[in-house]
Amino acid sequence: MTPMCLAIPGKVIKWIERESPFATATVEFGGVRRRVSMDCVPEADEGEYVIVHAGIAISRIDRSEAMRVLETLEELELAELRESVDDLPIDRPGTVRGTP
């Protein structure tokens, strides 16, 4: 069953037809190839990723934007690491742990 607003990313393998309203390309989804309508993404290049819903590509994936949320995650991971380093019990000579 196809959820109504489900759209999945696929890689444009080969343009078949450029003419509107019949623009078509072969697009690959995890190894499975399908013919997809390309009328809404006429600028898409072969090798590029598009998002496909109900047989038509509705957007081209922006690669730098795709990294953004993952970069935020990396920042969170670094912050977590720093915290855990701060929490490490470090014995320094001449100091008593727990004092300011």
Residue 37's closest CA among 62, 18, 60, 63?
18
# chain residues binding another protein, by CB under 8 A: 40
Q: Is residue 96 at the binding interface for another protein, with CB under 8 A as the rule?
A: no
- Residue choice 17, 48, 71, 73 for contact with another protein (CB under 8 A): 73
Using the rule CB under 8 A, is 22 a contact of another protein?
yes
Residue 20 structure tokens: 């509107």
Instruction: Pinpoint the alpha helices (H) of 15-62.
Output: none
Q: How far apart are the first and last CA of the chain?
A: 61
Based on the shown chain and the rule CB under 8 A, indicate whether residue 41 belongs to the binding site for another protein: yes
Return d(Cα 39, Cα 28) in angstroms, integer. 17
By the rule CB under 8 A, 26 interacts with another protein: no
60 sits in which H/E element: strand 56-60
Q: What is the contact surface with another protein in residues (CB under 8 A)? A: 1-9, 11, 21-22, 29-30, 37, 39-42, 49, 51, 53-56, 58-59, 61-63, 65-66, 68-70, 72-73, 76-77, 80
